[in-house]
Structures are given as structure tokens and as C-alpha cells.
Structure 1
Amino acid sequence: MNELKEKARALIDEFKGKNYIYGIDCLERIGELSAPLGKKVLLVTNLQRRDPNSYQNIFESLVDSGLEIAGPFPSAQPNSPKEDVSRIKEEILREKPDFVLVASGGSGIDATKAAVVLAILDGDIEDYFGIGKVTEKLAAEGKKLLPCVAVQTASGSSAHLTKYSNITDLKTNQKKIIVDEAVIPPRALFDYGLTKSMSTSFTSDGAFDGLAHCLEVYYGASPESFEKAQEIALTGIELIVSSIEKAAAEPFDIEAREALGLGTDLGGYAIMVGGTNGAHLTSFSLVDILSHGRACALLNPYYTVFFASSIQKQLKKLAHLFSKYSLIDESSLSLDGQKLGLAVAKALIALSKRVDYPTTLGEIEGMSKAHIERALQGAKNPQLETKLKNMPVPMTSDMVDEYMKPILEAALNGDFSLIKTL
């Protein structure tokens, strides 16, 4: 495990350099990390409720570094609702800080990244969904975003490291995404000890989100990025698979917490090398009935079978990795084609069962045909087309009903035979 962690640290250092502080007992360095960005900081966080001691450490570190603090102002609800983005934007406009610091999980970080965009560029959040829309408008108006420093408090989304901001419209229960280099936090910190205050379900949700980042990028990796994506993904997946049960069962086991933190951070590196695809895309339409990580955990086995013929090299590597943790029978290692895809899919399901996760959509309270229809319509939205293009079996919007619908119907009752392959 130590060798695996060292490999992860080398990859993360390669990815982020000196602008990212991470590890155990590093929270008090937030002041030194932030101070060069200005004198007045607007603080967005709910950490004072979940972990008052850690909140106090952040506050004191900022004060000791000579910073004037506006706030704290409340962070966002799960899935970063538009309303929270608007509220945080208004606080930024009123307080006029030199920079913003958000100490939160992924939802709070995503909402704050988007709020900074609106505070500087105005307009409607819908204007910025898709690829590069923020950079385009910044260039046209000759503006720069306020720096947004991110203190991650949960192993999962890796929002503190990436160019993504996922925002939800609660009226339609549809999530959409900003993809733009401009929203990458210029400085970030993640003390993995902060995750000890995560609940069991939150821990598992975050772990499966990080695993999905690694897995989906690995599945869809281009020939140019394949070797790097493979190195990142297999390291991240193994760290998560090896530690998820212990971290969920024993929240104060710092070794397991560190492994999850490193693994999910590698998920962040993965989605900067490549992009997520099927499971993430469908999860965006299930926000009213499933947490994001849980949705990805449930859906990825079914997309694995759909992709199987195009990802044989990846499946071979994953099968060997999963066999180390008794998730797949050694007799399955000689399989190929669709049978290998099914074996890896069942290994993913076995991992979900180890943490008492549902493995079919039919088990989810509130699941309906309307959710499948919403997911199909969401997949056809031009603002989300990157997810279709990132698939190892790329789809166009006119293929969604024919090929994606059977995947979701298979996920409804666990019947892999319903999946129609290209």
C-alpha cells in the first residue's frame, strides 16, 4: 500500500505542482497558501457545523496570515442548485473581496466556482454550460475571474482540482456542466483528515464518484492519452477498491482515509486528461432520487457491458486488479469479448454490494419511466454532448433512443441481455 500511495503522490505532484497542498495535518497551511492573493477573502463554508475544530483552524490560519475575512457564508446544498449559485454571487458582489475561499465538498466548490463566473461576467448560468464559454466571454470583455481558493473537505468529486462545475436546476431536476480551464481553482488544499467527519454513506458516495472518474476516463481514453490515463486510473481505482470498506466502517482510520483521498484526487487528474461519459451523463438526470456517486456506481456496470467490445485492453487490466481483491474469479481472467465485459461488470456490482449499495434502478425509491425519459432527453442536449463523444463507443443524439434506452432498461432490473451493442 505504501508503494501505491507513493506512486499516487508522484502523479498528483506532476499534475498540480506547488499550488496544491495535500496530505495529513496540512490544514493550518491554508493561510500561507492564500495570503499572496490579496487582503480581503470571502469565506464560503458550512464546516463550522460539521467539524468546528477544523473550521477554527482555517479561520485562525487566515487571520494569522493578515487576511480580513468576510463571512462565513453558507455553502451549497447537494448537487449545487442554481439558487445557491445566485446567493453566493450576490455575497461576492456585496463584499467585493480580493478573492474567494470555499471550504466544502464538491457541491459547494462547484457552486462557488460558478458564482465567481456570474459575479464577474453577469448573465444567466445557462450561458456558460458547455465547453469554453467562460474563457470566450472573458476574452471578449477583457476581464479576469476573481481567484477562487478551494479547500476540499470530502473525498469524491475532486472539484478543487478541475475545470468542471456541475450545477442543478431543481425545477427540472437536471444537472448541467461548465467545462472551462478558467474555473480551475488556482490554489487548493485537501487535508485528508477532514474526511473523518464524513458519514458512512457520504464516504461511499464520494469513493464511487472518484472511482467512476478513473474508470470512465480509462474506458474512453484516446490513443494519445491512453498510457497516462491507464497509469492514473489503475492507481486511483486500486487505492479506492482497497480502502472503501475500511473507510466506511472505521471513519477514523487515517490510513484508509488517506488512500481514499489520494485515489479520488487521481480521479481529478483523470478527468483533466480525459472525460467521463455514460454513467456520469445518466446520473445528471437522476439527481432527485440518487446521490451522484451512487448513481455512477449503479450505472457503470451496464455501460461496461455496452462498451465491452471496444475496451478489451482496459477490461483485461481491470479484471486482474479486481481479482487481487476477490471481486472476480481467477477463471474469468482468460475470458474475452462480451463475456469479459460481463465479468468486470459483475465485479463492479460485487464491490457495490460490499458497502450495501443498490445495484439496479428498480431498487431505488421514486424511480419511474419518467426518469428514463428525462435521461434520454438529457443525453440529447447539446450542452452535454461531450459525454456522448467521450464514450469508447461514441454516440450521436440520434442514436440515444436505440442504444442508450436498452442500457437503462437493463439497469432497471439487472438484465444484461437487454443491452444492444453496436
Structure 2
Amino acid sequence: MDLKKRAYKLLNDWKGSAYIHGLGVLDQVGEAVATLGRNALVIANTTRKSATVEKVLASLTDAGVSFGEVVPTAKPNTPKEDVIRLGKVISSRKPEVIVTIGGGSAIDATKAANALATLGGEIEEYFGSDLVTKALKERNLHLLPTVAVMTAASSAAHLTKYANVTDLAAGQKMLIVDNALVPTLSVFDYTSTTTMPKDLTIDGAFDSIAHTLEVYLGSHSETIDLTGTIADCALRLVVENAPILIDDPTNMEAREALGLASDLGGYAIMVGGTSGAHLTSFSLVDIVAHGTACGIMNPYYVVLFGRAIKQQLQVVGPIFGSKDVAPISVAEAMIAFAKSIHAPTKLKDIEGFTEAHITRALAAAKDPQLKMKLQNMPIPMDASDVDTYMAPLLRAAAEGDLTRIKAM
């Protein structure tokens, strides 16, 4: 079966009618929102209203959904201050349904703000796993229905239970993981990605790789067949189509392919969890975009966990054109792919990187609120393993030297 047809089938079997996606689907948004409520709060970029935003607003109007003044969305990386601001707006406007339009940061902010507006307190109370659901059950409350309209082939935030929130002062991302955050309805018109700049396109490609790869590498017997199927399709879509978009950013076939790969990444992280590269990326938020950070780090984690992921490397290696399936060979092939689309391949390639980022990453890896990332690894770690294994890995990634990694 054609790769894109495989992807559509996987996604439709998973999400069914809760997901509107494809080419030219934005005119369906209004009627879908109307089934959830007639009084909507719309959160979107108000500085520069894109064609996507205009089409969604027109569809809402046509369906008889009122929405009032559009509320400005969050800045990149979902600053905590924007989550608090949006929570206050939700509380004051009292909508029946929230419609959020944007990329991963915008959608994550809305998911977190919905929880904050409903439950009150401080956003830090909900960092971790299932704490929103716990509080909702204790208080017999429900989050407002949310419609997430994705505009970038990147994080798959429109499909998932995750919300990343950044403390800008500390330069650190934290994470809410909770099924209560999954949007009621998700929408992604892949034509909306045609205006994505090259750096964001590359970042989205690596985010898709990271989601599917990390979950697959950390899978156990009960999920490995499914996550392997997802990863095989998504990784092939990225490897075959990302180079096309570097040369021809308006190629719609390739844009559709990367959109599907991004969505498959969302599917993957609802089956299993991401691990090392994502954990490290949270401490690089002040100098590099999330997907690109994961793209730099994943080859190094492949070497770290090599002995535990031999089965997975039989699938992953050939996709990247590896000469064999030895961990270091697969890592080298992944790095070669990154270079082929002009992406950074070591931490010192990133402007502003310092030893302080390694220190911050090691401290974050020991934070109990991020323990899930250690536990999701192909060989689970605890805080006592961090200095032994992650410190050499981070210094290897800084220099671009795979031989410095202390394999587990």
C-alpha cells in the first residue's frame, strides 16, 4: 500500500470522526464546532491573521457559531505567563467551546489554560502525570470541549495528552501528561503548512522522527508491533519527503506527507512515551527549537541503548540507509540524513550552547516530575544513573563524537 494511504488508514482507524484532516478540510470546522456549542472562544495569532485563521472564522460564522473578539495565542514554547493569561480569559468569557488555531505552542497553551481555568490554583500543581484527571474527579468537574486546529507539521499537540509549559526565567520546559487534555475534536488541513519556513519545516520533520522513534525504541512486547508499524510509515514519509521540501517548499505532495508523519508521531506518543532526546530538549529551550534539539540528540541515544534495541534497529537502519544495523552505523546514517537537509548534528552547532546547558539537562533528568522520561527509556534509568550515562552522552553530543558514549 502507498505510504500516504497507509498513514491515512492508521490515523482514521485510531481517531475516527474525532479527527478532520486532509487537503482543503477547513470548511468543515464550523459545523463540527456547532455540535459542541454555539458560543466559542477563539484563540489564534491576532498580529498576523493567516489564511487558515480567516477560513476557520468564516466557517464558524457560516455555521452560526458566535465567537466575539479573537484572543491572542501563546508565544513560542508556551511561556507560563501566557498559560495564566489564557486561563483568566477562559474564566471571564465563559465559552461553551474553545477553538484554538496554531502550532504546538498555541495548542499546548490552550490545553493547559483550560485545566487552569477549570481547576484554579497554580499551573505547577499539574506538572506530571494524571494530576488534572485526579483533580477533576475529586471536584466532579469537566474541562471545556476544545477544538484544536493545527497549522504546522510539528508537535501533533492537536492529537495528544501532553502540554509543554516553559518557565522562561529558568530556561526549562515542564510537562503535563493527562488524557483529560486530549482535544475533543482535532483538525489539520495540510495545505496550511505551505507557508512554513525552511527551519520550521526541518524542526517538524525531526519532531516526527523523535516521537515515532523514541516510542518504538522504548516499546515492550505488548506494543512493539503497533509502534513498529507507525514508526516504519512515519520515518519513511519523513526521509523520503523532507529533502524534497528543502528544494521545493511548496510541493503539496511532500507537505501532505510530512503532515501525516507528524500525525503518526502523535499516535505514537499516545501508545507509548518519549524518552532521552525529549528530556534533553527541555533544557535547550532557550537556544534551539524542540524538534531540532531532539533531532540532534536521538543518534547519540541510539548508541547509548544499542544492546537493548537490536530488533528495532533492523527496521530503522535500512530506512536511513545505514550500511548495517550496528547501533553506531545507524546513528551515523541518522546524522548523515540530518546533514543532507542542512540540520545541526551536534550541540556545539547551536549558537549560544554552553556547559551550563549540560548542567541544566543533568539536573532536569533528576527532577521527579520528569521521571517518566527516564522510565520510558529502552533501558529504564533512575536519577542515580544520570551522571554515569547521560553526562558522557551529552558531552559526546556537544562534540559530535559517538565514541565518547558509555553504552548501557
- TM-score range (shorter-chain normalised) is over 0.9
Q: 1:152 aligns with which of 147, 150, 153?
A: 150
Give the aligned residue type for 1:389: Q
Q: 1:276 aligns with which of 274, 277, 281?
A: 274
Report whether the alignment pairs 1:400 with 2:386. yes
TM-score between both structures, scaled by the size of structure 2: 0.98
> How much has 1:94 moved relative to structure 2?
1.6
Report whether the alignment pairs 1:346 with 2:332. yes
* Map of 1:131 onto structure 2: 129
> How much has 1:209 moved relative to structure 2?
0.5
SS of corresponding position for 2:41:
strand
In 1, are the aligned partners of 2:320 and 2:337 still within 8 Å (CA)?
Answer: no
Report whether the alignment pairs 1:11 with 2:10. yes
Structure 1 runs of 4+ aligned residues shifted over 3 Å read none
> How much has 1:48 moved relative to structure 2?
6.9
Question: How many Å separate the matches in 2 of 1:351 and 1:24?
Answer: 28
Write the mapping of 1:41-190 to structure 2, written as runs, cut at 5 A.
Answer: 41-46=40-45, 49=48, 51=50, 53-190=51-188
Question: How many Å separate the matches in 2 of 1:155 and 1:19?
Answer: 19
In 1, are the aligned partners of 2:46 and 2:70 still within 8 Å (CA)?
Answer: no
Question: How many Å separate the matches in 1 of 2:158 and 2:196?
Answer: 17
Give the aligned residue type for 1:42: L
In 2, are the aligned partners of 1:376 and 1:405 still within 8 Å (CA)?
Answer: yes
Give the aligned residue type for 1:357: A
Question: How many Å separate the matches in 1 of 2:143 and 2:317?
Answer: 44
The gaps in structure 2 that reach 5 residues or longer are none
> How much has 1:359 moved relative to structure 2?
0.9
Question: How many Å separate the matches in 2 of 1:217 and 1:35?
Answer: 36
SS of corresponding position for 2:305:
helix
Question: How many Å separate the matches in 1 of 2:14 and 2:68?
Answer: 31
In 2, are the aligned partners of 1:212 and 1:297 still within 8 Å (CA)?
Answer: yes
In 1, are the aligned partners of 2:280 and 2:361 still within 8 Å (CA)?
Answer: yes
In 1, are the aligned partners of 2:239 and 2:319 still within 8 Å (CA)?
Answer: no
Per-residue CA distance 1:287-342 (angstroms, 9 max, x = gap): 0011101100100110110011100111111112222xxxx3xxx23x5xxxx111
Q: 1:415 aligns with which of 390, 394, 401?
A: 401
> How much has 1:50 moved relative to structure 2?
5.7
> How much has 1:248 moved relative to structure 2?
3.2
> How much has 1:251 moved relative to structure 2?
2.0
Per-residue CA distance 1:196-230 (angstroms, 9 max, x = gap): 01111111101110110001001001111010010
TM-score between both structures, scaled by the size of structure 1: 0.95
The gaps in structure 1 that reach 5 residues or longer are none
* Map of 2:242 onto structure 1: 244
Give the aligned residue type for 1:108: A
In 1, are the aligned partners of 2:129 and 2:176 still within 8 Å (CA)?
Answer: yes
SS of corresponding position for 2:78:
coil
Q: 2:285 aligns with which of 287, 292, 299?
A: 287
Question: How many Å separate the matches in 2 of 1:305 and 1:279?
Answer: 12
> How much has 1:71 moved relative to structure 2?
2.6
SS of corresponding position for 1:177:
strand
